[in-house]
Amino acid sequence: MNSQTKWLGALATSLCLIFTSASANEAGRIRPFTAKYSVENDYITAGVAYLSLLPDTNNNFDLTLRTKPKGVFKLSSKGSLREQAKMPSYNEPYNSFSYSYQDKGNRKRDYTTIFLRDTKKAKLLKAGKTQTITIDEPVTDRLSTMLVVMNELQQNNSFSAIDVQVLEHAKMRTMTFTNRGKETIKTAAGRFQAVRIHRGSPNSNRETVSWFAALPDKAALAPVRIEQFKNGKLTLRLELLEFSTVD
């Protein structure tokens, strides 16, 4: 797999990280929404990404991320991904009851996690097999981290860093997000005063930097840019193209 294809493969993790970065003292709040992003680096545009938080027919909510490759990537289906977390309420953190991951280019990577929170267990369903995992609450899936942190930030104006416990595939891990202050940035969707958030660790050669801005006319917060680095070099950039709230 070449480096361009890997950008889209890393997108699922990237977007869930950028949506966990809002400052609570910014105008806006969490609302059902749809959003579209470009996927690129300094040299090429590899595809687009769509993220949405929408109600379903059973009065639950679906948080869905889809990526669509362009050009040569589209021909191979590499980077055509879909993630979805289902939950009874999007404004109560740590309440997702299922998470699924699908890779159109490599079905062997597909899996589903079912949270059995009353028993502090989760079931991982993959390749026709079931694995039972013990979980420590509070814990969430990797896509729902955006809702956990955004809900937390609504109640904490002095946010400087936050840890979120996540069940990623079959392993428990902690994600740490650090606030680095405000910057003004320009994107295809406009010019924004944004909060800059870093995610990384002393033992990792990877770093994710995201910019989160308030959209006062929509009474909502939105991620407007994210950049991933490996060994100090840019490997992936996502920029907001469109964003709409849903009543």
CATH number for the domain that contains residue 150: 2.40.360
Nearest in space to 45 (alpha carbons), one of 80, 18, 7, 17: 7
Residue type, 10: A
Q: How many CB atoms lie within 10 A of CB 180?
A: 12
**Mean per-residue pLDDT of the chain:** 82
Domain count, the chain: 1
Contact 27, 220 (CB under 8 A): no
**194/185 Cα distance (integer angstroms):** 7
Average pLDDT per block of 10 residues along the chain, 247 residues long: 49 49 50 89 84 93 90 56 95 93 90 97 97 95 82 66 90 87 88 83 81 74 84 89 88
Output the CA torsion 20→221→57→97 (10° steps): 10
d(C-alpha 101, C-alpha 99), whole Å: 7
User: Residue 19's pLDDT is what?
Assistant: 45
Cβ pair 180, 197 in contact under 8 A: yes
Encoding tokens for residue 93?
């953190």
241, 48 contact by CB (below 8 A): yes
Query: What's residue 171's pLDDT?
Result: 92
Distance in angstroms (rounded) separating the CA atoms of residues 74 and 29? 35
Query: What's the pLDDT at 3?
Result: 47
Both tokens of 57, joined, read 């027919």
- First and final C-alpha spacing in the chain: 41
How many C-beta atoms surround the C-beta of residue 31 within 10 A? Answer: 15
Host domain of residue 161: 3-245
Sign of the alpha-carbon dihedral angle for 5, 141, 175, 26: positive
Q: Give whole-number Cα distances, 213 to 23, 27, 121, 184, 243, in Å.
A: 8, 9, 36, 9, 12
